[in-house]
Chain A
Amino acid sequence: MPDFSQLLNEASTMASAVDLLFFTLVAMSSAVVIVIGGLIVYFAVKYRRTPENQIADQLAGSTRLEIAWTVIPLLVALGIFGWGARLYFDIVQPPAQANDVYVVAKQWMWELQHAEGKREINTLHVPLGEPIRLTMVSQDVIHSFYVPAFRIKQDILPERYTSTWFQATAPGTYRLFCAEYCGTLHSGMLGEVVVMEPDAYRSWLGVDAGQAPAVVGEHLFVQFGCSGCHKPDNSGPGPSLVGVFGSTVTFQDGTTALADENYVRESILNPSAQIVKGYEAIMPSFQGQLSEEQLLALLAYIKSLGSGGAGATPTGAPTPTIQP
């Protein structure tokens, strides 16, 4: 039985940064409560109705005061906004190099797979001090991946990939919660993240690794006939997929989109929605033929064919694909 008794632990690179902002807010708001509360109590006692104090001073207001207590809170608020937004950029943008983990959430369990192939249920082992990037999809309703000790949370949607990342800073076992209400056993959709020393992690990973998703994806690519059209040298009727991931694709109508995870998914399941410039709309839809796991494997394979450009990594907020 892992020991979770330590509440409020900070176990990721993000945690202490978020906490600094949080406790600054605690200090500030406590100060406001003390000043306002103090003034109310002070006025309440000093100006209570007594035989001598039956009639009040009638003060209509003061424009100067109004301006002061509008502008000062506004400036403070803008400062907090900037601080919170700055950290949010870090939370939604994973570093370029990160270990990929694929997550399929379903009522009421977590299915996790490492890029090296190892599969896990409800427990995720990760190496200490290395960035981990999660690409997530739900098989049914909305769930949310939440590890309080890492201060990260990201909703997981059906039929669309979302993503988040973390880098653990302390070995140990941490709770993984589903944070978006997902039905009867929502509160039972628990898991844990085990942070290991990198060496121990690698030897753990080596045992029964299974096939890497990219390798499985390559088999699927042949099995479902994709390879017949999408030839690497561009000699087939479909575009080559080498270097496509992360690049900007241009469509027949001249619009463009970033080829991210959701673009790849949409192109497999609903290919006629967007036709790449210079090609015919001949690709059949694979809707209903591939499981979420197989789709993720194909995605891993297509990613492995090379990346188009920098900044193409997924974020919690993938660029919306432009519909023609």
Chain B
Amino acid sequence: MSAITLPRRETYLNANYGILSWLLTTDHKRIAVMYLVSITLMFILGGAAATMMRIELFTPASDLVDAATYNKLFTMHGIIMVFFFLVPVIPAILGNFLLPLMIGARDLAFPRLNLLSWYIYLLGAGVTLWALISGGVDTGWTFYTPYSTATPTEVITATIGVFIVGFSSILTGLNFIVTTHKLRAPGLTWFRLPIFVWSLYATSLIFVLATPVLAITLILVAVERLFHIGIFDPTLGGDPLLYQHLFWFYSHPAVYIMILPSMGVVSEIIAAFAHTRLFGYKFVAFASIAIAVLGFLVWGHHMFVSGMSLHAALMFSILSYMVAIPSAIKVFNWTATLYKGSISYDTPMLYALGFIGLFTIGGLTGLYLAALAVDVHVTDTYFVVAHFHYIMVGGAIMGYFGGLHYWWPKITGRMYSEKWGRVAAILIFIGFNATFFPQFILGFEGMPRRYAAYPPEYQFLNILSSLGAVLLGVGYILPALYLLPSLWFGKAAGANPWNATGLEWTTASPPPPNNFDKIPIVTTGPYQYPGKKETIG
């Protein structure tokens, strides 16, 4: 088989050659590709830690690795997956690549700042990996005090790494906000923006407002460890609950950093493959903003058994129910979008539909955890582990994979194997459920999380979960096996292989270095597919 050659045309990929043309680029598309490579590497590392854990959990005793190693593994898994994969994955890769294309701009508002963000990401990742490799950290990704001020492991180095990578998020958020305000093409009003842009905007607000709190909190932990100034350690006069409040003030909104972009991707995909307008566009758009705002007011739901006051618990419980409503609105609107559509089932659509299913289960089990009395029983058990994996893996990663497949032809100019794409999507969906659904039951039966060894009565469900993880692992490896070869052997995609609307599909694939030969002028709203019948809601 010989490689199919595309007709010669200047694209962002062939405009210059050589390693420096990448490392010094300010082209948002190239930076997105560099993020794709580095974030994928982190995903592999985080996944390797998870694999070790699931193998260990086949048996009740800690036999493959000892307890200290197991604790370092789940810490490594959590830190890498949350801070270096889930948080940046969609904004930094797909957002970077698509935001200027979707709003008809030639680049982000601050292209050099964008490159700097990538270097900051690398630096943060390097420092954290150094901590994880040189000695490991055993605090869990939550760094709870006073354990994190007492443990002899590499807490300071790891927190400095996470501190650094936070600035990458803040700068990316700033860049996106300014870009969305300033660089929209003529005629592209706010309500003509694709939902993905709305959700990136909401995510950027959280980046800019919440990340500094995490940075301050981690610095305070380091200060306490280095100088024995009592902030969180009660023996020094500090308050460990203060740490939990500060930590979750960032980390709950961070859940929405992970899920909002995914919701945006899914909105794009569903409209594109149903060839129809997004049902309730404005409601979906405002739901993103509502989630971003309300998401700042619910952090205490992680602390119902921490010794927090009863009144605070009541407020955080009711607010947590409030934040569930905009998410429900989105699910209903996506479902309604399918009604009387013309639906095709290409790979991205399978991921998007899978997303709705898994996100719905993740969201519904959040209602259990927000119910105070139920939370007392299932918090800190595998029920919580299952819940947040349904949101963050079932939701965020399904959305990311859907988006990666949807825009792969735009990014690379090539089509991948549709057949293998579908196989992987279905395998990931099944493998995911097989891995995490048993964990809901384990949690209800009382198995605490972060246990290196566990009582034998929990073994059966743990075996099911680990077997599911094998399927899931295969599902995650498959895309590498058909996406990479598509770079050389895939058939040329053309500008718009899905017949989708959106400015990104009006330019060539891969796009030219400056995105558009001529800046487009926008005269209609998004998702203007041909219709048999039109109704205005």
Interface residues of A (CB under 8 A from B): 4-5, 7-8, 14, 17-18, 21-22, 25, 29, 32-33, 36-37, 39-40, 43-44, 47-49, 53-63, 65-66, 69-70, 73-74, 77-78, 80-81, 83-92, 140-142, 144, 146, 148-149, 151-155, 157-160, 162, 175, 177-188, 190, 315-320
Contact = CB atoms under 8 A, between A and B. Distances in A.
Given A66-B280, A175-B446, A187-B451, A316 B307 contact: yes
Q: Do most interface residues of chain A lie in helix, strand or loop, or is the interface mixed?
A: mixed
13 contacts: A22-B368, A22-B377, A25-B374, A32-B364, A33-B357, A40-B353, A63-B537, A65-B280, A77-B322, A78-B321, A158-B234, A180-B380, A316-B305
A65 B339 CA distance: 14
A59 B317 contact: no
A22 B448 contact: no
A80 B241 CA distance: 27
B47 interface: no
Interface string B140-151: 100010110011
A250 B488 CA distance: 80
A49 B344 contact: yes
Given A85-B314, A187-B67, A7 B332 contact: no
Contacts of B373: 14, 17-18, 21, 83-88, 90-91, 151
B138 A59 contact: no
Interface in B234-279: 234-235, 240-241, 274-277, 279
A140 B240 CA distance: 12
Most buried by A among B240, B357, B534: B240
Contact of A39 (B147, B324, B335): B335
Contacts of A54: 342
A65 B336 contact: yes
A85 to B, nearest CB: 5
B379 interface: yes
A212 to B, nearest CB: 27
A181 B244 CA distance: 14
B275 A55 contact: yes
Contacts of A180: 144, 380
Most buried by A among B234, B276, B309, B371: B371
Contacts of A66: 280, 283, 329, 333
Given A21-B374, A39-B335, A155-B306, A56 B529 contact: yes
B11 interface: no
Most buried by A among B310, B313, B357: B310
B374 A84 contact: yes
Given A70-B329, A91-B373, A157-B234, 20 more contacts: A18-B377, A22-B368, A25-B374, A40-B335, A44-B345, A47-B338, A47-B342, A58-B531, A59-B276, A60-B534, A73-B325, A73-B328, A77-B322, A77-B367, A87-B372, A91-B372, A141-B146, A152-B377, A157-B240, A158-B235
B372 A317 contact: no
Given A77-B367, A184-B67, A40 B338 contact: yes
A88 B367 contact: no
Given A55-B532, A58-B529, A59-B276, A80 B367 contact: yes
Interface of B: 62, 67-68, 71, 138-140, 144, 146-147, 150-151, 234-235, 240-241, 274-277, 279-283, 304-310, 312-314, 317-318, 321-322, 324-325, 328-329, 331-333, 335-336, 338-345, 353, 356-357, 360-361, 364-365, 367-368, 370-377, 379-381, 444-446, 448-455, 457, 529-537
A33 B364 contact: yes
Contact of B376 (A91, A141, A142, A320): A91
A56 B368 contact: no
Contacts of B452: 186-187
Given A44-B353, A47-B343, A60-B537, A29 B365 contact: yes
A89 to B, nearest CB: 8
A84 B335 contact: no
Contact of A4 (B140, B281, B453, B457): B457
Nearest to A17: B373
Contacts of A25: 367-368, 371, 374
A69 B332 CA distance: 7
A61 B281 contact: yes
B344 A58 contact: no
B364 A60 contact: no
Contacts of A181: 71, 139-140, 144, 147, 449-450
Contacts of B329: 66, 69-70
Contacts of B340: 47, 56-57, 59
